[in-house]
Amino acid sequence: MTAINWSNVTDFGQLPQLANIASNNSFWVGMLYMVWIVVMLMMIFYGFEVAILVSSFLALIIGTFLVYADLVSWTYLMTFVGVILAMFLYIIWSGKKTTN
């Protein structure tokens, strides 16, 4: 755990970054994944595919704001892009095959 030097905090905008400093840059990434899990659990009643797609899309949108606030790196957002693409492929290839 890294100690926080409070004398360097000059404005309110630096407070979100202090959480990352104290947790070795994992606080906001952990929060992003927790939001993803909570939304997925709330949406599971609509189906597995819907839960994964909705939670990943919402985490992608929230994560984009966190990236531009310089709290999360782009590599964590690519996880959600990969999950969305994998779920699209799963939905396409697991559909029922109809023969006429």
Q: Does residue 11 lie within any of the structural domains?
A: no
Average pLDDT over residues 12-17: 73
Q: Does residue 87 lie within any of the structural domains?
A: yes
Domain that holds residue 81: 16-93
Q: Does residue 77 lie within any of the structural domains?
A: yes
* Of the candidates 33, 31, 23, the residue with the CA atom closest to the CA atom of residue 83: 33
Q: Considering its fold, how many domains does the chain have in total? A: 1
Average pLDDT over residues 67-87: 92
pLDDT, tens only, 23-52: 777 889 999 999 999 999 999 999 999 999
Q: Does residue 5 lie within any of the structural domains?
A: no
Q: Does residue 68 lie within any of the structural domains?
A: yes
Q: Does residue 2 lie within any of the structural domains?
A: no
Q: Does residue 98 lie within any of the structural domains?
A: no
3-state class of 40 per DSSP? helix
Q: Does residue 10 lie within any of the structural domains?
A: no
List C-alpha distances in Å: 71 to 19, 20, 63, 76.
9, 7, 9, 11
